[in-house]
Amino acid sequence: MLTFFQLASLLNSLRHDITIVQGILLKGVGLEALWMHALALAVIAIVLLTISVNQFRSQLS
């Protein structure tokens, strides 16, 4: 896979979701091994929520 697409996939929340689910269900690891993916999901959620709130406020005014 091209390096550009590998880097772009880091912005996709599904990649982190699948990694966390595989780690917990298949490998039996805890959050201490998956904290980086959980943090990435939290950052993605905060960014998208901030953008959504700003767009909603602009539509109201």
What is the value of pTM for the model shown? 0.81
- pLDDT at residue 38, rounded to an integer: 95
- pLDDT at residue 25, rounded to an integer: 94
pLDDT higher than threshold 90 for residue 61? no
DSSP string for 22-43 = IIIIII---HHHHHHHHHHHHH
Question: What digits encode the pLDDT tens for the residues 3-59?
Answer: 999 999 999 999 999 999 999 999 999 889 999 999 999 999 999 999 999 999 999
Residue 53 CA to residue 27 CA, distance in Å, equals 37
pLDDT higher than threshold 80 for residue 1? no
**What ranges do the domains of the chain cover?**
3-60
